[in-house]
Amino acid sequence: MSLVELTEFIVKSLVQEKEDVSVKEFETDEENTILIQVMVNELDMGRVIGKGGKIANSIRTLVQASSSLQDKKTVRINIDSF
């Protein structure tokens, strides 16, 4: 499972508006760094970020751990709404 698929699976498990979830991977200028952009419905932002950002940090930790097992790249995840 790719990092994008993993991120999308986790986020879709949390939100109510599953069809509004968009997860894309972007290259960065930094070597060995991947940027994953997560877009969710504005109503689901609280579910994805969590109180004090705990859920968002947990998602980042899981995806980074998966990356370290696969290709050892650093992962940055940005979460935004539309």
For the chain of 82 residues, list the mean pLDDT of each consecutive stretch of 10: 96 97 95 96 97 98 96 94 91
- The beta strand positions in the chain, using DSSP E, are 22-27, 33-40, 74-81
Domain boundaries, the chain: 3-81
Fold exhibited by the domain 3-81? GMP Synthetase; Chain A, domain 3 (3.30.300)
pLDDT for 34 equals 94
* pTM, entire model: 0.93
Distance (Å, rounded) from C-alpha 64 to C-alpha 3?
Answer: 9
